[in-house]
């Protein structure tokens, strides 16, 4: 699995804490036992053969089964153990992620938890193939989570974030037509975060200019604070800052937040974390126009 994912014997050996020669010998012995090559090797590249692709699927299942056996044994004694991989988008506002993670870790100290940042599309794909256990998603209201089981955590319209000295900063509310001519800072083209605004402007029959792309809200807000443009974000993503002004946009993008996980066989750690998130998301309303969703399970195709 390490070689298949790294596409490099040296990096795979480092990941497995063995010397490269030992790893190469093990693979050669495995190929001899199977009677077929698993990898095509050159001085620069390592690729899976068709047999290797087929074997990789079962290798993943075997390792997952071994890990689950240990987890099930722990469950028999009332413990939650194992690992939990968590994906977090940069605009989670329905729950306080650091607070939820800290509470989960305190309650389940024997679960090895890892967290990585990324986008909703990437996370849904990773969950569906077993590379990720749980993820927070943010999608526009015309897009449902796919390939995963999900619960809605909250929903609401994005707000326009302007430099404090902007001509529209003192308005009580705006419409998209008011800001269509502005320079925008937004997420990368094609990402779910970007599509929310792109589709809203298209529905309104408007075009806009996105001059700066960023993968994090911190970077976007720093550009806005310096007068380089404006952006559209969930109100909860905008911190108190004298250099920024958030103004409601009545026809702006409508966004849904979800927690998603494997539909077939979620781990005990994943189920415990989902329960922790559900409890946290029901504690009260979030600021501004954002509302918390009813926690009802939905399985998307």
pLDDT digits (tens, 9 = 90+) for 94-131: 999 999 999 999 999 988 899 999 999 999 999 988 88
CA 137, 140, 146, 148 torsion: positive or negative? positive
Nearest residue to 203 via CA among 254, 258, 145: 254
Report which of residues 263 and 110 the model is more confident about. 110
Is residue 55 domain-shared with residue 184, that is, in the same domain?
no
Is residue 38 domain-shared with residue 172, that is, in the same domain?
no
23 and 17 Cβ atoms separated by less than 8 Å: no
Token output for 139: 């999608």
pLDDT band at 267 (very low <50, low <70, confident <90, very high): confident
Token output for 196: 């929310």
Q: What is the pLDDT of residue 76?
A: 57
What single-letter DSSP state applies at residue 136? E
CA atoms within 13 A on the CB side of 28: 8
Is residue 100 domain-shared with residue 130, that is, in the same domain?
yes
Nearest residue to 231 via CA among 251, 214, 250, 254: 214
CATH number, residue 53? 1.10.10.10
Nearest residue to 232 via CA among 71, 91, 30, 81: 91
pLDDT band at 199 (very low <50, low <70, confident <90, very high): very high
Q: What is the pLDDT of residue 287?
A: 40
The domain total for the chain is: 3
Q: Which of 16, 41, 75 is the last residue of a domain?
A: 75
Average pLDDT, stretch 52-73?
A: 79
Is residue 189 domain-shared with residue 241, that is, in the same domain?
yes
Is residue 284 domain-shared with residue 143, that is, in the same domain?
yes
Nearest residue to 178 via CA among 254, 255, 251, 253: 251
Is residue 238 domain-shared with residue 290, that is, in the same domain?
no
Is residue 90 domain-shared with residue 42, that is, in the same domain?
no
Q: What is the pLDDT of residue 136?
A: 96
Q: Could you give the residue ranges of the DSSP H alpha helices within 158-191? A: 176-179
Angle at 124 between CA 80 and CA 15, to 5 degrees: 65
Q: What is the pLDDT of residue 246?
A: 95
Give rounded-to-5 percent helix, strand, coil for the chain.
Answer: 40, 25, 35
pLDDT at 293 over 50: no
Q: What is the C-alpha to C-alpha distance for residues 144 and 121, in angstroms, rounded to an integer? A: 11
CATH number, residue 190? 3.40.190.10
Q: What is the pLDDT of residue 263?
A: 78
Q: What is the C-alpha to C-alpha distance for residues 46 and 27, in angstroms, rounded to an integer? A: 13
Pairing mode, strands 159-163 and 231-233: antiparallel
> H or E element: which one contains 160?
strand 159-163
Is residue 46 domain-shared with residue 128, that is, in the same domain?
no
Q: Which of 56, 75, 94 is the last residue of a domain?
A: 75
What single-letter DSSP state applies at residue 7? S
pLDDT band at 169 (very low <50, low <70, confident <90, very high): very high
Q: What are the backbone dihedrals phi and psi of residue 17, each rounded to the nearest 5 degrees, phi first?
A: 60, 40
Q: What is the pLDDT of residue 73?
A: 65
User: Could you tell me the residue range of the domain that residue 174 belongs to?
Assistant: 159-252
CA 146, 148, 152, 157 torsion: positive or negative? negative
């Amino acid at each position: 699995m390490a070689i298949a994912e790294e596409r490099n014997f040296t990096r795979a050996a480092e990941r497995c804490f063995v010397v490269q020669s030992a790893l190469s010998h093990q693979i050669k012995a495995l190929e001899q036992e199977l009677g077929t090559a698993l990898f095509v090797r050159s001085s620069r590249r390592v690729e899976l053969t068709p047999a290797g692709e087929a074997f990789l699927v079962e290798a993943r299942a075997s390792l997952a089964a071994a890990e689950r056996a240990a987890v099930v044994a722990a469950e028999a004694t009332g413990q939650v153990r194992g690992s939990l991989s968590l994906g977090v988008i940069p605009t989670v506002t329905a729950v306080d992620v650091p607070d939820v993670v800290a509470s989960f870790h305190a309650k389940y100290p024997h679960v090895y938890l890892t967290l990585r940042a990324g986008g909703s599309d990437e996370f849904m794909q990773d969950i569906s193939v077993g590379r990720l256990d749980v993820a927070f998603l943010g999608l526009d209201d015309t897009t449902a989570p796919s390939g995963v089981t999900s619960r809605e955590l909250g929903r609401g319209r994005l707000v326009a974030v302007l430099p404090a000295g902007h001509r529209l900063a003192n308005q009580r509310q705006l419409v998209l037509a008011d800001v269509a001519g502005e320079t925008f800072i937004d997420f990368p083209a094609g990402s779910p975060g970007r599509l929310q605004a792109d589709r809203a402007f298209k529905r309104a029959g408007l075009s806009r200019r996105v001059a700066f792309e960023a993968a994090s809200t911190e970077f976007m807000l720093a550009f806005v604070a310096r007068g380089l443009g404006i952006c559209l974000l969930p109100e909860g993503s905008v911190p108190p800052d004298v250099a920024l002004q958030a103004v409601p946009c009545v026809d702006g993008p409508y966004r849904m937040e979800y927690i998603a996980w494997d539909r077939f066989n979620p781990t005990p750690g994943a189920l415990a974390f989902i329960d922790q998130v559900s409890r946290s998301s029901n504690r009260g309303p979030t600021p501004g126009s954002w509302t918390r969703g009813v926690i009802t399970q939905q399985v998307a195709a």
